[in-house]
């Protein structure tokens, strides 16, 4: 039983690390993505608390890719050091008023036009689909 739990934990940690290594845009590159894209979807999550979001990350990114939106994924706790207070992502999250993770932002020319926030680790694929369809249709959408 103990071995089974260790294997399950190891698998989940490996999956989380793989997502973070393969899909997350380093915070030092975020501003260049924002400046280089007229329209941009930004998925902001927290690797410690967004367990469901990480588990659904492939579905989330596939849904955005199908709509042909450029997008980035930002880990809100990247490089965070609670002992020293060093927080490389705090300027970004503060500039865009991100208080809940996960959050999905729609930026146009670097300005936040719409946001999808549903609560801590609550990101419905159905609501994301609606959010993206409304953006595609040219409407603004705010779910809080």
Q: Could you read off the pLDDT of 118-143 as tens digits, one per residue?
A: 888 899 999 999 999 999 888 444 44
* CA–centroid distance for 57 within its chain: 9
Q: What is the pLDDT of residues 18-61, one digit of tens each?
A: 666 778 999 999 999 999 999 999 999 998 888 899 889 989 99
Residue 142 pLDDT:
47
pTM of the model: 0.83
Q: What is the pLDDT of residues 9-23, one digit of tens each?
A: 556 666 666 666 778
Q: What is the pLDDT of residues 60-70, one digit of tens each?
A: 999 999 999 99
- Give the residue among 1, 55, 48, 49 at the shortest CA–CA distance from 23: 55
Please report, for the chain, the start and end positions of each structural domain, with discontinuous segments joined by +.
Answer: 2-143
How far apart are alpha carbons 33 and 109 in whole angstroms?
A: 11
Half-sphere exposure of 33 (CA within 13 A, CB side): 20
| Inter-residue contact 54 to 12 (CB < 8 Å) | no
Name 115's Cβ contacts closer than 8 Å, sequence gap at least 6. Answer: 103, 104, 105, 106, 142, 143, 144
Name 106's Cβ contacts closer than 8 Å, sequence gap at least 6. Answer: 39, 40, 41, 112, 113, 114, 115, 131, 135, 141
| Inter-residue contact 127 to 102 (CB < 8 Å) | no
**CATH superfamily placement of domain 2-143:** Glutaredoxin (3.40.30.10)
Residues 66-76, mean pLDDT to the nearest whole number = 95
């Amino acid at each position: 039983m103990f071995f089974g739990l260790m294997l399950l934990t190891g698998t989940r940690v490996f999956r989380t690390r793989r997502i973070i290594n393969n899909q997350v845009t380093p915070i030092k590159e975020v501003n260049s993505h924002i400046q280089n894209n007229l329209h941009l979807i930004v998925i902001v999550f927290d690797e410690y608390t967004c367990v469901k979001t990480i588990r659904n990350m492939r579905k989330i990114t596939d849904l955005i890719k199908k709509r042909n939106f450029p997008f980035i994924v930002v880990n809100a706790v990247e490089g965070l050091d609670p002992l020293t207070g060093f927080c490389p992502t705090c300027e970004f999250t503060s500039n865009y008023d991100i208080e809940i993770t996960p959050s999905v932002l729609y930026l146009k020319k670097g300005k936040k036009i719409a946001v999808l926030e549903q609560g801590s680790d609550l990101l419905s694929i159905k609501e994301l689909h609606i959010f993206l369809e409304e953006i595609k249709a040219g409407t603004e959408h705010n779910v809080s």
